[in-house]
């Protein structure tokens, strides 16, 4: 730990203090202690109040724009928030666009994180319009009704059964054959 330099014209000594006499003492504008010319810099006397005067404006590494930092805020955190929200550079804007897969159903503005491709028309839709009947599919093999077919799989008792097998199993459970 460095000590403040001694009074005007006094001999200077002690740990971290330059030896000799100083006839021009200087007052630190941050901590207001007296130092010689060798120790007036904030780093030279480990000034505890240097953060009040040592104001630097960080620059965004992507868009080279100065990012204002309020007192008490960490510059790294503020620059990171700038990159996440306000940065106009291409990499930052690409990073922000997560939901980019727009639904192709006319009138729908929904965007999904992943592509949901219809098996019949091979177009991208949102989860609401992913089924062929929901987006008026023009692809081959379009289903004719919304009712499930007789081979529609049904999950029951931890196994997958077709509708006829489910009806047969239910009749057997009720005692009818």
User: pLDDT by residue (tens digit) across 87-117?
Assistant: 887 776 666 566 678 899 999 988 888 888 8
Query: Which pLDDT does position 66 carry in this prediction?
Result: 92
Q: How confident is the model at residue 67 (pLDDT cuts 50, 70, 90)?
A: very high
Of 150, 103, 154, 156, which is closest to residue 126 (Cα–Cα)? Answer: 103
Mean pLDDT of 136-161: 54
Res 165 pLDDT > 50:
yes
Mean pLDDT of 116-130: 89
Complete domains list, the chain, with CATH: 1-54 (no CATH), 55-97 (no CATH), 98-146 (4.10.1110.10), 147-177 (no CATH)
83's tokens:
């990159």
User: Do the beta carbons of residue 115 and residue 127 sit within 8 Å?
Assistant: no
Query: Which pLDDT does position 163 carry in this prediction?
Result: 61
What is d(CA 91, CA 88) in angstroms, rounded to the nearest whole number?
9
Helix, strand, or coil here: 93?
A: helix
How many Cβ atoms from other residues are within 10 Å of residue 36's Cβ? 21
What is d(CA 82, CA 91) in angstroms, rounded to the nearest whole number?
13
Whole-angstrom CA distances from 104 to 39, 122, 152 are 69, 11, 28
Phi, psi dihedral angles at 112 (to 5 degrees): -115, 160
Res 125 pLDDT > 80:
yes
Query: Which pLDDT does position 171 carry in this prediction?
Result: 72
Query: Which pLDDT does position 15 carry in this prediction?
Result: 45
Res 5 pLDDT > 60:
no
Lowest mean pLDDT among 25-39, 128-142, 151-165: 151-165
Mean pLDDT of 71-87: 85
pLDDT digits 0-9 by tens, 33-60: 888 888 888 888 888 887 777 677 899 9
Comparing 22 with 74, the larger pLDDT belongs to 74
What is d(CA 92, CA 94) in angstroms, rounded to the nearest whole number?
5
What is d(CA 132, CA 115) in angstroms, rounded to the nearest whole number?
15
Mean pLDDT of the chain: 73
Query: Which pLDDT does position 112 carry in this prediction?
Result: 85
What is d(CA 102, CA 23) in angstroms, rounded to the nearest whole number?
75
User: Do the beta carbons of residue 104 and residue 128 sit within 8 Å?
Assistant: no
pTM recorded for the entire structure: 0.31
Query: Which pLDDT does position 48 carry in this prediction?
Result: 84
Of 153, 131, 127, 155, which is closest to residue 143 (Cα–Cα)? Answer: 131
């Amino acid at each position: 730990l460095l000590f403040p330099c001694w009074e005007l014209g006094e001999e200077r000594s002690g740990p971290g203090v330059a030896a000799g006499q100083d006839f021009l003492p200087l007052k630190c504008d941050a901590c207001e202690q007296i130092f010689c010319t060798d120790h007036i810099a904030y780093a030279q006397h480990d000034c505890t109040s240097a953060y009040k005067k040592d104001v630097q404006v960080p620059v965004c590494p992507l868009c080279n724009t100065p990012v204002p930092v309020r007192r008490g805020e960490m510059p790294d955190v503020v620059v990171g928030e700038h990159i996440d929200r306000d940065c106009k550079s291409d990499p930052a804007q690409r990073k922000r666009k997560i939901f980019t897969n727009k639904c192709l159903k006319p009138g729908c503005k929904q965007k999904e994180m992943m592509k949901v491709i219809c098996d019949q028309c091979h177009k991208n839709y949102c989860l609401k319009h992913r089924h062929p009947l929901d987006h008026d599919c023009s692809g081959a093999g379009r289903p004719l009704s919304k009712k499930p077919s007789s081979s529609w799989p049904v999950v029951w008792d931890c196994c997958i059964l077709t509708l006829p097998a489910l009806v047969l199993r239910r009749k057997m459970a009720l005692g009818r054959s």
